Amino acid sequence: MIYDVIVVGTGAGGSTVARELSRNGLDVLILEKGGLVPSGSAVTQIKTADLKLNLEVTDSKYEFLNYPGELMYIEGVGGTTPVSLANACYACTSCYYNSPTAQFKIHDLEIFEELLEASKDLKVGPLPQTRTGPMTRKIWDAMEKLGYFVEPMPKFIDYPQCNNCGLCIEGCTHGAKWDGREFVNQAVQAGAKLVSEFTVNKVLHSEGKAWGVEGIDKQGNIKTYQAQRIILAAGALNTPKILKNSQLTKGVGEGLFTDLFITVGGFLKNAKLNKEIPMGIKSEFGAYFLSPHFSSQLIPLMAEKGFHVKNEDVVGLMVKIADEANGSLGDDGSITKTLTRNDLKLLTEGYDKAVEILTELGVDPSSIVATSLRGAHPGGTAAMGRVVNQALETSIKNLFIADASVIPQAPGRPPILTITSLAKRLAKNVLQDTVQLKN
């Protein structure tokens, strides 16, 4: 059988493009490396990759610079979305010059309409006052007292289904938080075929045109599938591997960003931040933002300082920056990046503000620690203008990319809404081409 489209990967990008195309009558085959991800334990599926950070400069005041960095992602149906904290950045030009919408406009791609459509599909809205937990409210007040502008975080939560458990990262068991599994199910209901536990190795092409993929099924057999068009959405760490295996190498695997973050936290008896909807509010500072965040990583670090605390006694703030897109994926699987002078400036400014806010809240300053540098939004590794054009097509005809790898620069903001919008845009282009071909 020759499918209309093969979609590789079922995360933010793959699930969306598969849904849009199958709902509009195309024969879609979805190939997914991982298996089904159970709600309630998605967090156990998180994989971490070592992130080797070369420090352009360092500062001995900030211990977190000494810890090894890491990148987080999931391989399973729904991609990394089941563990998301439901944060939805509108990626509009008003927040920061690095917004993806502004970045794509440089390449003559306007995705505003798709952002509105995706916001509606994902039920995006600001966290209501009634859902703002008591500790989050106290953090809001402390921030305002210090003169910082605070606003509710836009979330993709269907609030009537939400019981405020604060366990978004485990994969919502109430069906309140959107994740890619919902779109995969809708695609399958509309007739798409899903083959999970199938790892695509390369795209098959000849005379400059893609016509299929080759991969390995769960029994270890090599299999090929054919289609008119191939859409890679294997995520920013895996799409480059498939491209390189397919002899498309120029600029591939370079320009990695990760939206680096740390969580700064300390001891506050009965804070219970871990029981509230995470990251319910934010305070924007251009290339970085601060948001309440409980991280269990803080607990052993606090113990080293003599504070043996329980989860409910920890209060933390995430500092997330738009890091420079200078990383690369090695052929040996290594991931390296330089932490530039500017990255360090953003992180340390955010750290200092977090300490100021925590102290205002009543946190014992001697208990304050920061986690290692982590990244949960890898992107940039097959960027628009370098690897794909404005239509998200590579130099191989009929081979497209619909995931975070096409975003050129770090937004420093949650990318799911942007990726779903891009995928919607690609689906519209494909549908338009199909109609033209049929006529």
Asked whether position 231 contacts ligand FAD by CB under 6 A, the answer is: no
In the bound state with ligand FAD, the residue whose beta carbon lies nearer, of 266 and 379, is 379
- Whichever of 259 and 324 has its CB closer to ligand FAD, that residue is 259
Q: 3, 5, 7, 11: which one contacts ligand FAD (CB under 6 A)?
A: 11
Binder among 20, 70, 75, 323 for ligand FAD (CB under 6 A): 75
Token pair belonging to 300: 């052993």
d(CA 264, CA 254): 30
Binding residue for ligand FAD, selected from 7, 12, 17, 142, defined by CB under 6 A: 12
Q: Which of 238, 381, 398, 434 binds ligand FAD (CB under 6 A)?
A: 238
Closest CA to 293 of 311, 269, 308: 311
**CB-based contact 311:274 (threshold 8 Å):** yes
Contact between 404 and ligand FAD per CB under 6 A: yes
Among 22, 84, 103, 394, contact with ligand FAD (rule: CB under 6 A) = 84
Contact window for ligand FAD (CB under 6 A) among 82-90, 112-120, 216-224, 281-289:
82-90
Dihedral sign for Cα atoms in the order 225, 230, 236, 242:
positive
Supply 254's token pair: 């370079």
Beta bridge partners of residue 232, listed in sequence order: 8, 401
Which residues, 6 or more positions from 94, have their beta carbon under 8 angstroms from its beta carbon? Answer: none
Query: Other CB atoms closer than 10 Å to residue 406's CB: what's the count?
Result: 34
Please answer whether residues 190 and 197 qualify as being in contact, where contact means their C-beta atoms are separated by less than 8 angstroms.
no
93 burial type by CB count under 10 A (0-12 exposed, 13-18 middle, 19+ buried): middle
Output the smallest distance, CB 179 to ligand FAD, in A.
9
For ligand FAD, the binding residues in 185-224 under the rule CB under 6 A are: 199-200
154 binds ligand FAD (CB under 6 A): no
Given the rule CB under 6 A, which of 17-25, 26-34, 51-59, 301-309 is the region that contacts ligand FAD? Answer: 26-34
Assigned token pair, 340: 């530039």
The smaller minimum CB distance to ligand FAD, of residues 7 and 301, is found at: 7
- Asked if 184 touches ligand FAD (CB under 6 A), the answer is no
Position among 73, 104, 183, 225 found at the interface with ligand FAD (CB under 6 A): 73
By the 10 Å C-beta count (0-12 exposed, 13-18 middle, 19+ buried), 55 is classed as: middle
Q: Which two tokens stand for residue 283?
A: 């305070």
Shorter beta-carbon distance to ligand FAD: residue 12 or 248: 12
Q: Which residues pair with 385 in a beta bridge?
A: none
Rounded to a whole number of angstroms, the minimum distance from the CB of residue 83 to ligand FAD is 4
Residue 8 is a binding residue for ligand FAD (CB under 6 A): yes
For position 243 contacting ligand FAD by CB under 6 A, the verdict is no
- State which residue, 80 or 421, has the beta carbon closest to ligand FAD: 80
284, 323, 393, 403: which one binds ligand FAD (CB under 6 A): 403
User: What gap in Å lies between CA 51 and CA 69, rounded to an integer?
Assistant: 5
| 5 in Cβ contact with 29 (< 8 Å) | yes
- Binding residue (CB under 6 A) for ligand FAD from 55, 165, 169, 391: 169
Residues 6+ apart with CB under 8 A from 67: 371, 372, 373
How many Cβ atoms are within 10 Å of 36's Cβ, its own excluded?
13
Tell me the residue type at 160: P
Work out whether 87 is an interface residue with ligand FAD (CB under 6 A): yes
- Minimal distance in Å, beta carbon 213 to ligand FAD? 8
Please answer whether residues 290 and 140 qualify as being in contact, where contact means their C-beta atoms are separated by less than 8 angstroms: no
First-to-final CA distance of the chain: 22
Choosing from 22, 45, 80, 367, the residue that interacts with ligand FAD (CB under 6 A) is: 80
- Residue whose C-beta lies closest to ligand FAD: 11
The answer to whether the CB of 14 falls within 8 A of the CB of 230 is no
Number of residues lying near ligand FAD (CB under 6 A):
40
Binding segment (CB under 6 A) for ligand FAD, from list 32-40, 202-210, 222-230, 392-400:
32-40
The dihedral region occupied by 139, where left means phi > 0, alpha psi between -120 and 50, and beta the remainder, is alpha
Per-residue string for binding with ligand FAD, 274-313, x by CB under 6 A?
----------------------------------------
Of 414, 421, 430, 434, the one binding ligand FAD (CB under 6 A) is 414
Question: In the complex, which residues of this chain contact ligand FAD (CB under 6 A)?
Answer: 8-14, 31-34, 72-73, 75-76, 79-81, 83-87, 169, 199-200, 233-236, 238, 242, 376-377, 403-404, 414-416, 419
